[in-house]
Each structure stands twice: as C-alpha cells, then as structure tokens.
Amino acid sequence: MLIAPSILSADFAKLGQEVDDVLAAGADIVHFDVMDNHYVPNLTFGPMICSALRKHGVSANIDVHLMVTPVDSMIEAFADAGASMISFHPDASIHLDRSISLVKDKGCKVGLALNPGTPLYVIEEVLHKIDYVLIMSVNPGFGGQTFIRETVDKIKRLKQLIVDKRLSVAIEVDGGINESTIKSAYDAGAEIFVAGSAIFNAKDYKQSISALRDAIKK
Ligand SMILES: O=C(CO)[C@@H](O)[C@H](O)COP(=O)(O)O
C-alpha cells in the first residue's frame, strides 16, 4: 500500500520544502492535482510547477491527476515536465484509446480517473491497457471534502472485474481519505491512497502518515 500526499493541501508558498518534508516523513508518491477551472471549478498548477519540483531535487514518483479538458496537450506537457504517472478522466478525452497511448508513448504509467457518478463500464474496453484506476471518493475540485461511502462498493466491484479479467491494474482512491475511511477502501481492494488534508493539515507529517498506515492494520 502506497501513501500519496496530495499537494493541493500543501502550503504553496513553500512547496518544495513541503514535498521534501512529506517524503522524508514516509510518503511514497507525490500526488499532483491539476485543475483547469473548466472540467472542475478550481484552478491549480501547470507543468512548470512539476518541472520546478524536479529541478528542486524531488526524485520520487510524481502522480499527475489531470482534471482538465482537453487532455492530450497536457499529457505531453506533464510527461515532459517529469511526471511518472498520469491519470485523466475518460469523459475528458474524445479518443480514450488514443489518450492512453499518448501517456504510454511518453513513458509514464497510465491511469483512468472515475468520478463518484461515473460508472465502471466506461473503462471496461481499455482496462487491459492501463496501469491503474483512480477512484474518486469525492467530487473533484477541492480538498477537505467528506468521503462518499458508496465508493467502497465501487472499489469492490472494480477489484472483482480486475480479478475476473486476470489483469494487473492497481486501484488508487482519492478524496476524504483519513484514519476513519482508509481501512474500508483498503479492504475493498485499493492499494494507493491519496490524502491531502489528513496529512498536510497535521502538524507532524510523519505521525499523520504513520496513523494512516496503522489504521489499515487495525
Ligand atoms: O483530487 C482531489 C480533489 O479534486 C483530491 O486529491 C483532494 O485534494 C484530496 O484531498 P483530501 O480530500 O484528502 O483533503
């Protein structure tokens, strides 16, 4: 199980230090939420910030979650800026298979992100072509929202689909993940956990990341 702090909840005035601190505190992946005020009602950061983190010395995997439309130009820009993993929403791509190939051709792991209201069948035809599915457990756009409980059943059904098809596709869950919600997502089959406010709103990042890992073991 991998912990991926969402830098959406970090202090942007000292972003490089914040990323260094969560990685030193035991985080596995840096989760990078890209919002365009079009696909979602918020605006965050572009590829320049990603390359700035690489220049700053961040060597951990950077997991870019594109909440933008159109997606293809941003896939290329973020891959060139140092992304290791790129996910996008199938409903934000006109040619899903082509966008998946674009991520792969750029040498990144490819993920598809599903909003709470988006059904699993949207990705069935391409499930064998991707590395992970990002299940949104809140409606995308903001940190600090409440975990939508129905997501647990969705993760279970996705896990079963992956097993039935004998695929090796990881499940990432994002939104409202904290000490109270992480275990239900883990038990359902998720293995990558994005957490923003649960980590960055704590005074001690090491303690908050350990608390997430401990909550799973309970
Ligand atoms: O993509 C998103 C929101 O759109 C998430 O990554 C949130 O940033 C997670 O924040 P918390 O719910 O953990 O505070």
Range of the domain at 203: 2-217
Is-contact 105 129, C-beta < 8 A?
Answer: no
Q: pLDDT digit string (tens) for 57-67?
A: 999 999 999 99
Binding residues, as ranges, are: 6, 31, 33, 65, 141-144, 174-176, 196-197
210 three-state secondary structure: helix
Q: pLDDT digit string (tens) for 80-137?
A: 999 999 999 999 999 999 999 999 999 999 999 999 999 999 999 999 999 999 999 9
Q: Give the pTM.
A: 0.98
Q: pLDDT confidence of 161, banded at 50, 70, 90?
A: very high
Residue 151 Cβ inside 6 Å of ligand 1? The answer reads no
What CA–CA distances, in Å, run from 167 to 87, 90, 128, 140, 211?
18, 19, 6, 27, 31
174 is catalytic: yes
Q: What's residue 218's pLDDT?
A: 85
Residue 5 Cβ inside 6 Å of ligand 1? The answer reads no
Q: Express as a percent the part of the chain with pLDDT over 70.
A: 100
Q: Give the Cα separation of 104 and 46 in Å (integer).
A: 20
Q: pLDDT confidence of 190, banded at 50, 70, 90?
A: very high
Whether the pLDDT of residue 210 is over 90: the answer is: yes
For residue 104, how many C-alpha atoms fall within 13 Å in the half-sphere facing its CB? 12
Q: pLDDT confidence of 185, banded at 50, 70, 90?
A: very high
Measure the CA dihedral 132/60/49/90, to 10°.
0
Q: Give the Cα separation of 166 and 58 in Å (integer).
A: 34
b vs e for 97-132, b when ≥16 Cβ sit within 10 Å of the residue's Cβ? Answer: eebbebbbeeebbbbbbbbeebeeeebeeebebbbb
Name the catalytic one among 28, 63, 174, 187. Answer: 174
Residue 65 Cβ inside 6 Å of ligand 1? The answer reads yes
Residue 30 Cβ inside 6 Å of ligand 1? The answer reads no
Name the catalytic one among 33, 36, 63, 131. Answer: 33
Binding residues for a divalent metal cation, as ranges, are: 31, 33, 65, 174
- Residue 180's nearest CA partner among 137, 136, 135, 120 is 137
ipTM of this complex prediction, to 2 decimal places: 0.97
Whether the pLDDT of residue 56 is over 90: the answer is: yes
Whether the pLDDT of residue 145 is over 90: the answer is: yes
* CATH number of 53's domain: 3.20.20.70
Is-contact 87 66, C-beta < 8 A?
Answer: yes
Q: pLDDT confidence of 152, banded at 50, 70, 90?
A: very high
Q: pLDDT digit string (tens) for 24-54?
A: 999 999 999 999 999 999 999 999 999 999 9
117 three-state secondary structure: coil
Whether the pLDDT of residue 206 is over 90: the answer is: yes
Residue 130 Cβ inside 6 Å of ligand 1? The answer reads no
Cα radius of gyration rounded to whole Å, the chain: 16
Q: What's residue 43's pLDDT?
A: 98
91 is catalytic: no
For atom 7 of ligand 1, which residue has the closest CA?
Answer: 143
Q: pLDDT confidence of 8, banded at 50, 70, 90?
A: very high
DSSP for 66-100 reads EE-SS-HHHHHHHHHTT-SEEEE-GGG-SSHHHHH
Number of domains, the chain: 1
